[in-house]
Structure 1
Amino acid sequence: MHMPHSSLRSRRRGRGRDTAAAQVAVSRRAWTLMAAFLAPLVLATVLGLVLLWPGAEARGGSPADTLWDPAATAAGSGFVTGTVMALDLGECPDADTAGCSAATFREGDSAGSGGAPREGSLYVPPEAMRAGLAPGDPIKAFSLDVASPGAPAGTESSVAAEAAAAPGAADYVFTDFDRNLPIGVLAVVYALVVALVAGLKGVRALLGLVFAFTVMLGFMLPALLDGGSAVLVGCVASAVIMFVVLYAAHGFSARTTTALLGTFGGIAVTGVLGLWWSEWSRLSGVYTEESYLLYSNGVSTADLVVCGILVAGLGVLNDVTITQAAAVWELRSSNPRAGRLEVFRSAMRIGRDHIASTVYTIAFAFVGGALMTLLLVVSSSRGFLESLTLGELAIQVVNILVTSIGLVLAIPLTTGIAALVAVPARPEAAPGPEAAPGPE
């Protein structure tokens, strides 16, 4: 017994599915073809996870295998949080240029032991003074007490620590302002705004974001430190993230699957071009102290450049492919009689506007992130365009251009796949597994 089309649409609206998805069908043949493309990708991703999974030492951050640890301290010393209790600028006439040691610092507690809070003298560098450090400010500091944390002032160990301290004989050295609270509040506000405006889909997107960073911290970065191929690790991590994030945020449907295929196409183009241009441009990646430490410990920094390009392109590729797939579904729903070529052309008119705006977004994001570096470049005697082809700036430029090419090509690819897959739903057709989209 066939259900009337209007009743079918009402039921789907009741389940939270949008009208466009209800009016667009996907043939069983189209599902089979998409599955034929996705199945090898899923298999390759799982195989890559198994083969490239880092060892326990890399995942656990064993101190013996640490390449570089600016937080490494001598026995008894360490990083602590607390509050600036007093600051006597009268004793520091040149505080803006030489810093100030006439400050009192109180730890939050006795090194986490629950005892009485400890106080001591604090050295404040000039940059912190210029930033407006004042009594009452929560900060992070480095304890220079090389003896046990509870050693009283004046003991032999405390005196030795003061003698070894630089600069001056302070008990603590200012490290940075404690920003845990303001950044934490900002993250909560962001999550609330996304959830309130985007609803359940926004919550799923946030969960997908948490998963993406879990993959990066739990697999990608340890695998790179474990000596895995940076290009392969980047490809596998990108695939895992895209599989989970897209379906988690947008539901399991033909529309999401179309966007996923377009995203993988963009990732493939980005990876190939990244490999080609990084080799052609001789981007070794060894331009900073951190990159040199990685290079000297056997990590291929040239491959890291390509891995960074792949990861940088994930977010923007996800954005454009989902938008293009949604555009095709809406166009097909609004004009069921249109041919596939007509739908493709209409969606590409939307895609061209999206390309233009996204190119601006990538360029402006680069300028905002590298603003201080660009100021130094402009003030130097070397030409601006010449500076963009040197060192870290050259990597950023290649990153932007390669990612933009992958983005631009992913739009017609996704649009073409969606135009072929999406067909008008027949009014008399009962919903089948090939026509029923997942929750949107």
Structure 2
Amino acid sequence: MSHGHGHSHGVDVATLPTASRRTRRILTAVLVPAALLTLVALVVLWPGSVRGEPTAADGERALGTVVAVAEQACPADAPQRRCGAATVRVIDGPGAGTDQQVDLPQGPGTTALHVDDDVVLLHFPEAVPGGRAYAVVDRQRAAPMIWLLVLAVGVILAFGRRRGVSSLAGLAVSFGVLLLFVVPAILDGSAPLLVAVVGASAIMFAALYLTHGVNVHTSVAVAGTLASLVLTGVLGAVFTSAMHLSGAGSDDSAYLSVTRAGLDLRGLLLAGIVIGALGVLDDVTVTQAVTVAELTPAATSRWALFQAAIRVGRAHVALAVNTIVLAYAGASLPLLLLIAAGNAPLGELLTSEFLAQEILRSAVGTIGLVASVPITTGLAVLVAELRGEPVRARHRM
């Protein structure tokens, strides 16, 4: 699930009304223990090294450049369309500096090799007795990826300026938590749902405060996001059990079940739901917290303030729900093609394990997203300082 567009992201929260000391104390009493608990859980669950040492049976990776291609006619009964060999100059890895013969790659997803193509090789001299020691397994794509990332960062910085820098810092923290904590901890045998909740909480605290600053409005958004994440996790657990989902409905999950014995695939499914929900939840909660702050000076009562902010939230969440559905549909496009081309009854397809998992993700994520609007709006209204109320000492959080 990707991050939403967010109406609030163009608002400088530093210019919004300040909060009272009472409001600050309430939010601190709630969020500081939650942050400390997240930090303690990170330390306790932090994994060791989970990467296995490569063995001879795995082969060795090498990089090379195609210097010649020699195609030949395929036998009449051959399944492949392109036969022949290519000469690859190994530039890094085992055999660097030598020219090696490789068979032209076959199978689904492979593309034709041409001279000057940069490829990834697997050196496996004992794979086939009397066969070639190298095989092309992928294309080198580091250079275009780096240029794409540089372009994306440049666009963000040019448009967002200071806020762009903070958003990139939040993004770096998010990827760091996912790659250094969530994935290794799950592979290390920790409960996937617990790891996902702790990781999502860490991402939420870091990303929201880095992007929007340490202030009462961001704190309200953090509290609303945390409550909505808990609701999403609970709903996911309940309906995963009610629908008797094993979490092994996809080829990737089936492969993990074989290569990682003991991995909790159902927990892994729930972990994906929680982490995916965070991407849109933080956008919606920040929007609602800032909306309440903007509407507070003109509000006549807390109920009127709540109703006005909810109207804004309805318009925002309608777009966000559409974003969720389209994101899942885009990720599952090959599955949709299989459904359209298949002959199985629709009811049977919809209740199959794999498609049921996708429906669960979409439905639970949508419910959590919709619930985040009244939850965050209610919290923001509770701590809002309306005109006509007793004046208290105001301090920026």
C-alpha contact (below 8 Å) 1:34/1:257 kept by paired residues: yes
CA distance in 2, matches of 1:129, 1:354: 39
| AA of the residue aligned to 2:111 | A
Distance 1:38 1:191, change over 3 A: same
Structure 1 vs Structure 2: percent identity of aligned residues? 34
What residue ranges of structure 2 are gaps of 5+ in the alignment?
A: 1-9
356, 379, 389: which one aligns with 1:394: 356
- 1:196-345 to structure 2, matched below 5 A, reads 196-288=158-250, 290-292=252-254, 294-295=256-257, 297-333=261-297, 335=298, 337-345=299-307
| Bigger Rg, which one | 1
What secondary structure, in the 3-state scheme, does the structure 1 residue paired with 2:56 have?
Answer: coil
- 1:380-419 to structure 2, matched below 5 A, reads 380-419=342-381
C-alpha contact (below 8 Å) 1:283/1:305 kept by paired residues: no
Which residue pairs with 1:44 in the alignment? Answer: 37
What secondary structure, in the 3-state scheme, does the structure 2 residue paired with 1:108 have?
Answer: strand
Offset at 1:338? 3.5
2:41 corresponds to 1:79: no
Offset at 1:229? 1.6
Give the aligned CA root-mean-square deviation in angstroms: 2.8
Q: What per-residue deviation string (whole Å, max 9, x for no partner) do you get for residues 21-57 of structure 1?
A: 5451311111111112113312321232233222x34
2:52 corresponds to 1:62: yes
- 1:167-178 to structure 2, matched below 5 A, reads 169-178=131-140
| AA of the residue aligned to 2:39 | V
| AA of the residue aligned to 1:408 | V
2:129 corresponds to 1:164: yes
What secondary structure, in the 3-state scheme, does the structure 1 residue paired with 2:249 have?
Answer: coil
Distance 1:62 1:79, change over 3 A: closer
| AA of the residue aligned to 1:381 | N
C-alpha contact (below 8 Å) 2:72/2:83 kept by paired residues: no
| AA of the residue aligned to 2:62 | V
Distance 1:180 1:22, change over 3 A: closer
CA distance in 1, matches of 2:173, 2:376: 25
Q: So what's the TM-score if we normalise by structure 1?
A: 0.79
C-alpha contact (below 8 Å) 1:121/1:172 kept by paired residues: yes
Distance 1:49 1:110, change over 3 A: closer
Q: What per-residue deviation string (whole Å, max 9, x for no partner) do you get for residues 292-336 of structure 1?
A: 454451111111111111111111101111111122222235x3x
| AA of the residue aligned to 1:89 | E
Which residue pairs with 2:328 in the alignment? Answer: 366
What secondary structure, in the 3-state scheme, does the structure 2 residue paired with 1:24 have?
Answer: coil
What secondary structure, in the 3-state scheme, does the structure 2 residue paired with 1:422 have?
Answer: coil
2:116 corresponds to 1:133: no
Distance 1:129 1:100, change over 3 A: farther
Which residue pairs with 1:14 in the alignment? Answer: none
Which residue pairs with 2:87 in the alignment? Answer: 104
Q: So what's the TM-score if we normalise by structure 2?
A: 0.87
Offset at 1:18? 6.6
Distance 1:260 1:291, change over 3 A: same
Which residue pairs with 1:118 in the alignment? Answer: 98
Offset at 1:127? 4.4
Distance 1:81 1:128, change over 3 A: farther
